[in-house]
Amino acid sequence: MFDILYASGRSLLMLRYRQAGRLAYALGTYAVFGAFGLIFLLVVSHFLHQHSQYTMALVALWCMATIAVHTSRKDLDFMHTHLDHSTYLIGLEYFALMLPFLLCGIGSGRLFYWLPAIAVCVLLPHHLPSLRHETRSTVTRWIPSALFEWKSGLRKMYYPFMALYTAALLSSWFKILPLILLWFLTTLMVTFYDENESLDLLREGQHSEQDFLHKKLKTHLGICVLLYLPILTVNTLCNPDYVFINAMFIAAQLALLFYGITTKYAFYIPVYPGLKNSNITAMVSLLAALPVFFFLPLVFGLYNYRRALTNLKPYFDHD
């Protein structure tokens, strides 16, 4: 049994190594930001382990994130079919993800708080999700066609989106953690605007490029405010000294989303993949993580706003 488990584990490890390499290449600059974000998260977890309630919250967030990842995985059928003792291997994967957080808690005397997370590692691999596609389609079915980007984006990123938002909601009383999670969420939302709608959908109910773009910005920025307002309100009430930081933060996230929308329409071609410049977008996203620099994404967005109006004008001058 151990020889078979070792062989399967070695094959899985090599597969994950190649996948990590391809992912890092595809992410480009984002891979560096992700590595720094992970290091920062581990440093934060070390300090969270110094307090019992924060440790329990961290364990709860980890369990929730792991369950979300497990229910959205697309490789479970493959692993159960092609790898011997796949449930052990999946559990070891989750334990490997948990291990850095355990190491950060050494010396705190609170490692026993992670017993529920260990139970998740043991029990969760025995569950093979079968309703993830139905859940996702049920949610997106209620999204109107006018919110084309959200409908398309949530079909692809439903579980990461819900995991980030729920984690931010549950940690809203912390000082900095929900802001980091919301920044990642905004960066994810910007990717929703990588696809272009059809010309008919673009013109539907619109009379000019100005009316279209104004309505688009008002609607989508309003959705962002509605999503973030409950979290930032709780965060401000629990941390009154963060009122100015939170105000600057929401302004920075709106500026980033404004940049994403205007960039899409500055290069809009009907039913054609949008412009994907990961280096520039990553730089602007990083600026939005620093509230004092929120005006820079705003400046880039205003520049693209003028270009968007010019680019959209021929599509509305069809009569």
| Mean pLDDT value across residues 44-61 | 81
274-287 confidence digits (pLDDT tens): 555 555 666 677 66
User: CA quadruple 127, 131, 136, 142: dihedral positive or negative?
Assistant: negative
Q: Which of 12-21, 24-33, 67-76 has the lowest mean pLDDT?
A: 24-33
Burial of 254 (0-12, 13-18, 19+ CB in 10 A): buried
Distance of CA 284 to the CA centre of its chain: 16
Integer Cα distance of 93 and 87 in angstroms:
10
Q: Are 316 and 268 in contact (CB under 8 A)?
A: no
Provide the 3-class DSSP secondary structure of residue 229. Answer: helix
Pull the structure tokens for residue 230. 């409950």
Query: What does pTM read for this prediction?
Result: 0.65
Q: Are 61 and 44 in contact (CB under 8 A)?
A: no
| Mean pLDDT value across residues 288-301 | 74
Q: Is the pLDDT of residue 115 over 70?
A: yes
Question: In the prediction, which pLDDT does 258 show?
Answer: 93
Integer Cα distance of 188 and 253 in angstroms:
12
Integer Cα distance of 128 and 134 in angstroms:
14
Question: In the prediction, which pLDDT does 292 show?
Answer: 63
More confident site: 169 or 218: 218
Hey, how many other C-beta atoms are within 10 angstroms of the C-beta on 63?
18
Rg (alpha carbons) of the chain, rounded to whole number: 22
Domain boundaries along the sequence of the chain = 1-130, 152-319
Residue 6 amino acid letter: Y
Question: In the prediction, which pLDDT does 131 show?
Answer: 45
Pull the structure tokens for residue 210. 């100005």
137-167 confidence digits (pLDDT tens): 556 677 777 788 888 888 877 777 887 788 8
Integer Cα distance of 228 and 249 in angstroms:
10
183-216 confidence digits (pLDDT tens): 888 888 888 887 788 888 777 777 788 888 999 9
Pull the structure tokens for residue 117. 């997370």
Q: Is the pLDDT of residue 54 over 60?
A: yes
